[in-house]
Amino acid sequence: MTTFARALTRCEYIYSDLCCVATCCESKQEVVVSGARHKANDNPAKTGFKMRAIALVTLLFLAYGLVTPFYLQPWSKITLTLHWPQTFCETAHCKQHFKYWTLHGLWPNTGMNCNNTWKFNMSEIQDLKPDMDKYWPNLLHPTSVQFWSYEWHKHGTCATSVESLNSQHKYFSKALELYKQFDLTNTLKNAGIEPSEQNYQFDDIERCIWQHFGAQPKIQCVASTKGEHVQVLGQVEICLNRDFMPIACEKSKEDLWSRVNDVLLNRFSAPSPFHVCDFGTPVHYPVVTENKTRH
């Protein structure tokens, strides 16, 4: 059952319960409103109509609650997302290649596109551009400004509920700071996990990241294009609390309602090729193509 279908089912259950309350009140000839008990109208049909009207209005308020953006409340988790360029470029026509993990984004768990009036302004982060070009590139285009603008509008505007991220400069500089702090390229390399024609066990990769950063990451793979019984390492998510300390990347109530909101508001994006890696399937960490490689 899809998230949207589950949300509709939830509404149906609520409406059914409300109607049951209405029927019960009809039989007792009583109506309970705002905690006060009032004697019902002597006409049962009229009373039933009123109670069902109350049930419907209540349902509409509950439905509004389902679609009210959760990002109106402060986020409780933010995800530093890094991807391995070679894996991404095997499914797309990249304009440049890198021999290190690059930034995909910094994503709070409270929705997307939170403030469409807060436009991206490159001049505010001009001093960050050298590091942005190096660590947060658009793999599909020679210039990355459009990609940064997309990330700001989709995720950055939702992160501004905390003072440390309440401007474009703070948001992008914090992402770069976290990228350097959680140096995934060298973390894996120092554990003997490097791009290779040989495959790795998923447990070895997860244990390396988990032990080094102190919390369970979310590791994502893509299916092998060669038809082998192997998955290809593609993306790693490092989850952080409001103090930017690592926490386990587990689903929470906030994440669930954020996704329900996105579905009900038709905030769909293109399907991602990434999926959570299978624990028992070997992992391929592909060697970077040397053509047009950035070091």
Q: Mind listing the pLDDT tens digit for each residue in 182-202? A: 999 999 999 999 999 999 999
Closest CA to 229 of 187, 185, 281, 270: 281
User: What is the model's pLDDT at position 97?
Assistant: 80
Nearest to 170 by CA among 182, 195, 188, 152: 152
Same domain? 176 vs 252: yes
Q: Pick from 153, 157, 137: which is nearest to 82 by CA?
A: 137
Residues 49 and 89 in one domain: no
Residues 134-154 have a mean pLDDT of 94
56 and 183 inside one domain: no
Total number of domains constituting the chain? 2
Active-site residue identified among 26, 83, 151, 237: 151
Q: Which is nearest to 288 in space by CA: 224, 194, 198? A: 194
Same domain, 176 and 111: yes
CATH number of the CATH domain containing 183: 3.90.730.10
Provide the pLDDT confidence category of residue 57 given band limits of 50, 70 and 90: very low
Query: What whole-number distance in Å separates Cα of residue 66 and Cα of residue 72?
Result: 13
The residue with greater pLDDT, 256 or 191, is 191
Task: Give pairs for 182-187: CB < 8 Å, separation 24+.
Answer: 182/80, 182/82, 182/213, 182/238, 184/82, 184/101, 184/209, 184/236, 185/100, 185/101, 187/212, 187/213
* pLDDT confidence band for 143 (50 / 70 / 90): confident
How much is the pLDDT for 282?
A: 96
Residue 97: how many CB atoms within 10 A of its CB? 18
Q: What is the dihedral sign for C-alpha 175, 181, 186, 188?
A: negative
9 and 140 both lie in a single domain: no
Residues 140 and 276 in one domain: yes
Which pLDDT score, from 0 to 100, does residue 149 have?
A: 97
If asked whether residues 225 and 184 sit together in one domain, one would say yes
Q: Which of 285, 280, 100 is nearest to 194 (CA)?
A: 285
Final residue in a domain of this structure, among 50, 67, 84: 67
Among the listed residues 104, 153, 254, 284, the single catalytic one is 104
Catalytic residue flag (residue 163): no
Backbone phi, then psi, for 36, in 5-degree steps? -105, 145
- Boundary of a domain, candidates 45, 67, 89: 67
Q: Cα–Cα distances in Å, from 258 out to 113, 146, 150, 204, 235?
A: 12, 25, 19, 32, 21
Residue-wise pLDDT for 20-46, tens only, equals 434 343 333 333 333 333 344 445 555
Question: Is 104 noted as a catalytic residue in this protein?
Answer: yes
User: Of 49, 67, 85, which residue is a domain's last?
Assistant: 67
Q: Is the pLDDT of residue 79 over 70?
A: yes
Secondary structure of the chain as H, E, C letters: CCHHHHHHHHHHHHHHHHHHHHHHHHHHCEEEECCEEEECCCCHHHHHHHHHHHHHHHHHHHHHHHHCCHHHCCCCCEEEEEECHHHHHCCCCCCCEECCCEEEEEEECCCCCCCCCCCCCHHHHHHHHHHHHHHCCCCCCCCCHHHHHHHHHHCHHHCCCCHHHCCHHHHHHHHHHHHHHCCHHHHHHHCCCCCCCCEECHHHHHHHHHHHHCCCCEEEEEECCCCCCCEEEEEEEEEECCCCCECCCCCCHHHHHHHHHHHHCCCCCCCCCCEECCCCCCEECCCCCCCCEEC
Task: Please tell me whether residues 145 and 63 are part of one structural domain.
Answer: no
The residue segments making up the domain with residue 16 are 3-67
Do strands 293-294 and 97-98 pair parallel, antiparallel, or not at all (unpaired)?
A: parallel
155 is catalytic: yes
Of 255, 207, 219, which is closest to residue 78 (Cα–Cα)?
255
Tell me, yes or no, whether 132 and 243 share the same domain: yes
Query: Are the C-beta atoms of 282 and 273 separated by less than 8 Å?
Result: no
| Catalytic residue of the set 155, 206, 254, 284 | 155
Quote the CA–CA distance of 35 and 52 in Å, as a whole number. 18
